Structure 1
Amino acid sequence: MLASKANWNFIEQEIANVERDNDSLSISPIIEKLLVQRGVTTKQAVSKFLKPDLEDLHSPDKLLSIDKAVKRVKLAIEQGEKLLVFGDYDADGVTATTVLIKALQELGALCDYYIPNRFTEGYGPNEAAFRQAHREGYTLIITVDTGIAAMEEAKIAQELGMDVIITDHHEVQENVPECYAIIHPKCSPDYLFQELAGVGVAFKFAQALLGYLPKQLLSFVAIGTVADLVPLVDENRILVYNGLKELANTTNPGLKALKQTANINGNVTEEDVGFAIGPRLNAVGRLQSADMAVELMLTEDPQEAITIAEEMEEINSERQQIVQKIVKEAERLLSDKEQQDVIVVAKEGWNEGVLGIVASKLVRKWDRPAIVLSIKPNEGIAKGSARSIPAFDLFHNCMQVNHLFEQFGGHSQAAGMTLALTNVQPLELALNKQIAQQLSESDFKQELNIHATLPVSQINIPLIKEIQQLAPFGMHNSKPLFHIKAIPEQSRQIGSMKNHLKLQFTENNQQLDAIGFGFGELYNYLTPHTPVNIVGELSINEWNGSQKPQLMIQDLSIDEWQLFDHRGKRQANLNEFIHSYSSVFSIGDRTRAESLGIPHKDYQDDWSSLENVDTLILFALPSNLKDLEALLKQIKPKNIHLCYYVKDSIYLRAFPSRDDFKKMYIFLQQKKVVSIDKDLPPFAQTNGWSKDKLLFLIHVFYELHFIQIEGRIIQVEEKPLKKDLQESATYQKRLQQAEIERKLYYSNYEQLKKHFTNCMEHLGSPKEEQSYGL
């Protein structure tokens, strides 16, 4: 048996409430079921979901204070005032900056942008930047993707005689800044959707300023919205769906160059944005000034765009190397510490711009909340980022010890912080105490929401293309996860380091490949003819013009007992198995058991105190099959490893025939008195018998009292009692040992598995997997 890494949650929802007049929409039962799971249950809702229309966007007029803000901007343009767009250094912030700058430029505004430096200024508006803007003659500042918490900065702007318009989407605190206008969905009771990204709010403002819906800006909106991980429902779905189409055919020199360096051709998906475009835009702000990202998207010069994009590519590669280096260093630090429920690592010199990525990687590896800090000894502080697991609200729990921080902000799953070096250990102790009080062991496992169980025979290219109608996928519209249970036809490790797993299934002539990146270590946990449970995403693998369905593995389990066959190997590698099992016992070869650090018993020992042993390792064959059967029924193992080795096989020796016994007896009768040393060797040589065979025949006759042995002389009994050969213990033992070897050592795997299955009745047949199939 092999446990899953994550908790599996099978989604089951009745579809009785779905209207049945969907035939005109050509919806299959599969799509219907997946839509119901997303709360899309009416014909109208289905139509809007599958064909997101820009006409269904909410009017920007419903955003509080937007009319006031539009009038102020237009007045500034009329009067020739200087406008400054104040953005943020992540992908959402730089695309929001681009959207608003392009709209203002179209209106003829005298405008520029400013993005704070992550390392010298930190997040959000700051006094120094506002004062510099005033000195440069700016009279109106418009924030994008930031500003809702800028209380002091708004006051300073007022004192300096500058107006501030805040456009933001972050959580609204108890108080809001006093400024000219705030455009924020969560501050607008009449606005029906509150989950716009920062670039989405900027787009709404741009639409209101321009007086029309600027489709040419949708590419930027799609990038920022996907990169910021906001829910991809309602307006966000409409914006991203249409924005990705614009992005695929964009004429913007910067975006074309960015796609070129990221090797994105043809249609652009949310995965292209999330894993290629977004990280490249983010990389600039993580390592230096984010201005380069805005410059790329604003330039009209194709050659300049290529130059900037190539430089950004180098920066992104550098960012990846820095992340990899810090992850390795963090793992080394953790190896020297006792494992805690909360991971806290800190080191001088770590680049604070990438610590959030590092924390995410540590969370994925250890399923623990992680805080990664860069130590600044000259300032006596540590600064960094944190990421959490779903069961632990990082923001709430950190706020319980808010006195330990000099600066702190974030939400349930992510946070940024600055604290005194002397408070790092108290923070670790406090969070470990909180998590111990709140969570159980199962809470540390990730949770996978599985949308359906499908047979391999139903997974094909048309099905996968149908499912793609539900894209773009993201928060609140997750890519469907499917479960299959089948016996792999082939399994192998792939990759230069053999760290990936590839399984191949065939059912009713339908073939399915399953690929598990990072699952290579599980190869040794697979056993022949054993069904495997796999959860993953369906995709299409295109190679040399052909398409094949494939499943990208996210988790794997085996819910039946397993037989691992190491027979004949003198030193099977058991270390990795031993460390992964909860309880292990072994039989035979006490020396090897002790070297592996596992408990040991013999077949004849008392096993009555042991029940439900996770894993049993057999280092030796039993002398009686009934002993093994009784043992299995007593301890009920879930995994059995066969590690025995037969050095001197009884089964392979020629077993004497009845004619052999008859020849031997006639010879003894004729001789009456036989010298073991003088008479037997020539006789054995004449008949082609080995020494072992000869001794065996003598032992059997001796046990049956057909002969007597004194010293080295054999004498034949004159009137022995008539007995069958089977009455000899030696004869029976040899027969029994040969049978044991035949069944347990020389049988093939299928025969062996069948034999053990008959002894494993305590596990019964695996329960039928509850089907959530479509």
Structure 2
Amino acid sequence: MYHAKKRWVYPETDATAIERIQTELNISPQLATLLVERGHADVEAARAFLHVEYELTFHDPYLFEQMTKVVERIKRAADDGEMVLIYGDYDVDGVSASAVMWHALTEIGVMAECYIPNRFTEGYGPNKEAFSWAANEGFTLIITVDCGISGIEETALLKELGVDLILTDHHEPKETLPDAFAIIHPHIDATYPYDKLAGAGVALKVAHAVLGRMPAELLDLAVLGTIADLVPLDGENRLLAKLGLKALDESKRPGILALREVCALTDAPLTEESVGFAFGPRINAAGRLDSAMPALQMLLAETEAEALELAQQLDKQNKERQDIVKTIAKEATELVEASMTDDRVLVVASERWNPGVVGIVASRLVEAYYRPVILLCHDPKTGKAKGSGRSIDGFDLFKELSKNEDILPHFGGHPAAAGMTLLSENVAELRKRLNEQAETIPDETFVARVNVDLKLDVNDVTLDLIAEINKLAPFGMGNPSPRVVVADARLRDIRQIGRDNSHLKVQLAGDKRELDGIGFGFGHVISEISKMAHVSLMGSLQVNEWNGMRKPQLMIQDMRVDDFQVFDYRGKKKSLQELDELPKDATSFVSFQGTSKPFPLHEGDEPLNRFVVLLDLPDDESELADRLHDGVERVYCAFGQGDSLFEKLPTREDFRTYYVHMATCERKNLRENLIRLSIERKWSKNTIQFMHQVFSELEFLVTMEDGLPGVNPEAPKRDLTEAPCYKRRVGKQQLEERYVYASLAELKERLQTLRSNKMQEAYS
């Protein structure tokens, strides 16, 4: 067996709805199943989801209750020549939203400038110093994008300074709202039919209203924040993402072209993965390490040379960010392992960390421990700790933090993520309170689980199926890339790949076709999956294109073996050092013959360990069966490693020659001639001892008066097979032939039969 790292959860399905949608839309049963699982059990809803660009249109931006007021104020600013400040955030959503808003405002003649606060010196969202600066500089209107809904005091200050404030945001609001000139926020405005827009999506709605048309030329910018901010990709977001990715792929914007070049994506079509894993990290890198303004300047660049120079700067910062993340992740893991392994909420802090990247590290710790995680950076100069949190399903991080506002003067975010600042002296108290709050959360919430969309056979996986599944793209929050399980598949091949053998490649065999699987970071399981195993692999399907060939491929995310496994280490086929790496508390190393081996041998009562390493074979098969209790999941067969471990049974000619020698050799030359004879006949010391023991048990040889063996002239005639040791040796040789020289398939069948019989005896 090999246990999966997460609990695979299969959804309940409505077979009737699946069949109806499959028939009405003329699609595969797998695609119909995915649509129903995503909540589109109605035929029209399923059709709209599949063909969103043809079935849906963007909502009227004036459905926002205060949009008319916002447009009138912006147009007045344009007419009166007012200076307008666009105040954004330092992540991808905030940067792209700022770019969207700047283009819309400048198109109608507004004198607009952008301001993005520095994460390290100003923190997230509005701050009084920046607002005071804006008022002194002569800005009479400030428009926030992707921030501001928590800035109650800052909004009040701006009102005192005589500057109007339009808040556009999508983050969770608190009970009290800022007293702004106007607020455009999909969570707050009950008149707007969709409440899941990202900051860039909200900015696009304002742009739509201000320009009097849907600005298709800004979709390539708005899609960046929509995908990178992990908002659900359904409804209006799905339409924005679908059209936006097409616009992004066709974009001639210098900043986008520069990003494609530094990411080596000049030829490949751009997808949601291009944004999430290539564009997004580089845009974010600027604000994580320093000011985010270079990222915004890149998106607004008018020449390719300027854009490329800025993109290369972001690429360099991203590499630096990756190194910093690796270091912090290592240190944070060590702190958790030292004192927090029993915590339900991990609150980890240090003075050495960069607050710009702790959100990334928090996400990695969530993946590793499946616990809500908050990483904080102490600043000795201010006495404050600043950081980010990431959560799991079932633990609303924003809601739980809201219960601690007395020690959290500044925080904001979503159920799954949050940012915060508090006094360093209150970090321990926050950890204590959150863990107490988590005690009321059901235990199963903290068990890692993964929802599986489809259970497939190797024969089901085709290029056509992958094309069908990809009709659901773009994938993201609310519409995740489908996870499939290829169940109980026969392994044709399994091997390590990569420069350091850290990755795994498998080939699964079906009745009609084969399927390759790649598991990045799974190289270590090579010693835990037998080539004879039937494996179940969980992951996502993709098309592997190489050398003009296209074929399906499974990207492995988890794996499981449900049956009893047998591993072949006989005859130096593999290094025994691999066995020393098996978990000591789960492994028994067994030697029936007391053979000297570099392993800790278990003697006496055998612990009920899951893994058994057989270093040699017993004389009787029943002894082997005794080791195969029902808790044994794997057997590692390491017998036959030594060249002389299994010696051949001496022939009858060997026995006759030895007997004649003992009967005819002069007593004084007995030992010397025996040595010469053993060299001629290639007898080992063990062979001589065995033949002597056989003759002694048959009473053919006895000890004479001179202390040396001699022939017993009165011995009755008997066959060699009557000697007890000969019988044991014949039985052992048969056992060796059955187990040492058997194929792996035969070996597994025999051990599994022994184990099954032993279990039947135990329960009968």
TM-score of the pair, normalised by structure 2 = 0.90
Question: Is 1:390 aligned to residue 385 of structure 2?
Answer: no
**Counterpart position of 2:730:** 735
Counterpart amino acid of residue 521 in structure 2: G
Counterpart amino acid of residue 625 in structure 1: E
- What is the DSSP-based 3-state SS (H/G/I as helix, E as strand, rest coil) of the residue aligned with 2:500? coil
CA, structure 1 residues 61+692, in 2 after alignment: closer, same or farther (shift >3 Å)? Answer: closer
CA, structure 1 residues 496+344, in 2 after alignment: closer, same or farther (shift >3 Å)? Answer: farther
Counterpart amino acid of residue 9 in structure 2: N
Counterpart amino acid of residue 212 in structure 2: G
Q: Pick which of 227-236 and 355-364 moved more.
A: 355-364
User: Would the aligned equivalents of 1:632 and 1:760 in 2 still touch at CA under 8 Å?
Assistant: yes
Question: Is 1:127 aligned to residue 128 of structure 2?
Answer: yes
**Counterpart position of 2:628:** 632
Q: Pick which of 19-28 and 114-123 moved more.
A: 19-28
Alignment of 1:177-576 (within 5 A): 177-264=178-265, 265-333=267-335, 339-341=341-343, 342-432=345-435, 435=438, 438=441, 440=443, 443-484=445-486, 485-508=488-511, 510-568=513-571, 571-576=576-581
1:275-295 CA distance string (max 9 Å, x none): 111112111111222222222
**Counterpart position of 1:153:** 154
Counterpart amino acid of residue 71 in structure 1: E
Count, aligned residues: 751
CA, structure 1 residues 747+434, in 2 after alignment: closer, same or farther (shift >3 Å)? Answer: farther
- What is the DSSP-based 3-state SS (H/G/I as helix, E as strand, rest coil) of the residue aligned with 2:554? strand
1:491-537 CA distance string (max 9 Å, x none): 11111121111112233452321111111111111112111111010
Structure 1: distance between partners of 2:336 and 2:675: 73
User: Would the aligned equivalents of 1:167 and 1:202 in 2 still touch at CA under 8 Å?
Assistant: yes
User: Would the aligned equivalents of 1:473 and 1:479 in 2 still touch at CA under 8 Å?
Assistant: yes
1:431-453 CA distance string (max 9 Å, x none): 4555567464x654432211112
Structure 2: distance between partners of 1:271 and 1:370: 25
**Counterpart position of 1:43:** 43
User: Would the aligned equivalents of 1:84 and 1:111 in 2 still touch at CA under 8 Å?
Assistant: yes
User: Would the aligned equivalents of 2:388 and 2:419 in 1 still touch at CA under 8 Å?
Assistant: yes
Shift of 1:118: 1.1
Counterpart amino acid of residue 563 in structure 1: V
- What is the DSSP-based 3-state SS (H/G/I as helix, E as strand, rest coil) of the residue aligned with 1:564? strand
Shift of 1:11: 2.3
Structure 1: distance between partners of 2:340 and 2:185: 46
Question: Is 1:760 aligned to residue 762 of structure 2?
Answer: no
Shift of 1:695: 4.9
User: Would the aligned equivalents of 1:393 and 1:413 in 2 still touch at CA under 8 Å?
Assistant: yes
CA, structure 1 residues 594+366, in 2 after alignment: closer, same or farther (shift >3 Å)? Answer: farther
- What is the DSSP-based 3-state SS (H/G/I as helix, E as strand, rest coil) of the residue aligned with 1:229? coil
Structure 2: distance between partners of 1:304 and 1:763: 75
User: Would the aligned equivalents of 2:595 and 2:616 in 1 still touch at CA under 8 Å?
Assistant: no
**Counterpart position of 1:768:** none
1:610-659 CA distance string (max 9 Å, x none): 65x322233342232111213324x64112223345658474334232x6
**Counterpart position of 1:771:** none
Structure 2: distance between partners of 1:688 and 1:92: 85
Q: Pick which of 284-293 and 344-353 moved more.
A: 344-353
User: Would the aligned equivalents of 2:625 and 2:758 in 1 still touch at CA under 8 Å?
Assistant: no
Structure 2: distance between partners of 1:357 and 1:650: 55
Q: Unpaired segments of 5 or more residues in structure 1?
A: 766-774
Counterpart amino acid of residue 677 in structure 1: L
Shift of 1:562: 1.4
- What is the DSSP-based 3-state SS (H/G/I as helix, E as strand, rest coil) of the residue aligned with 1:108? coil
**Counterpart position of 1:622:** 618
Shift of 1:761: 0.7
Structure 2: distance between partners of 1:376 and 1:590: 64
- What is the DSSP-based 3-state SS (H/G/I as helix, E as strand, rest coil) of the residue aligned with 2:258? helix
Shift of 1:101: 1.3
Structure 1: distance between partners of 2:421 and 2:752: 59
Structure 2: distance between partners of 1:680 and 1:200: 99
Aligned mate of 1:677, from 670, 695, 703: 670
User: Would the aligned equivalents of 1:584 and 1:615 in 2 still touch at CA under 8 Å?
Assistant: yes
TM-score of the pair, normalised by structure 1 = 0.89
Question: Is 1:709 aligned to residue 703 of structure 2?
Answer: yes
Structure 2: distance between partners of 1:517 and 1:695: 55
Q: Unpaired segments of 5 or more residues in structure 2?
A: none
CA, structure 1 residues 305+540, in 2 after alignment: closer, same or farther (shift >3 Å)? Answer: same
CA, structure 1 residues 742+338, in 2 after alignment: closer, same or farther (shift >3 Å)? Answer: farther
- What is the DSSP-based 3-state SS (H/G/I as helix, E as strand, rest coil) of the residue aligned with 1:83? strand
Structure 1: distance between partners of 2:205 and 2:521: 42
**Counterpart position of 1:584:** 587
Counterpart amino acid of residue 748 in structure 1: S
CA, structure 1 residues 559+215, in 2 after alignment: closer, same or farther (shift >3 Å)? Answer: same
- What is the DSSP-based 3-state SS (H/G/I as helix, E as strand, rest coil) of the residue aligned with 2:16? coil
Structure 2: distance between partners of 1:503 and 1:399: 47
Shift of 1:244: 0.7
Structure 2: distance between partners of 1:571 and 1:732: 32
CA, structure 1 residues 176+743, in 2 after alignment: closer, same or farther (shift >3 Å)? Answer: same
Structure 2: distance between partners of 1:144 and 1:2: 49
Q: Pick which of 753-762 and 473-482 moved more.
A: 753-762
Shift of 1:386: 2.4
Counterpart amino acid of residue 50 in structure 2: L
CA, structure 1 residues 764+137, in 2 after alignment: closer, same or farther (shift >3 Å)? Answer: farther
CA, structure 1 residues 111+397, in 2 after alignment: closer, same or farther (shift >3 Å)? Answer: closer
Q: Aligned-residue CA RMSD in angstroms?
A: 3.2
User: Would the aligned equivalents of 1:590 and 1:600 in 2 still touch at CA under 8 Å?
Assistant: no
Structure 1: distance between partners of 2:473 and 2:551: 20
Aligned residues: percent identity? 39
User: Would the aligned equivalents of 2:626 and 2:758 in 1 still touch at CA under 8 Å?
Assistant: no
User: Would the aligned equivalents of 2:18 and 2:33 in 1 still touch at CA under 8 Å?
Assistant: no
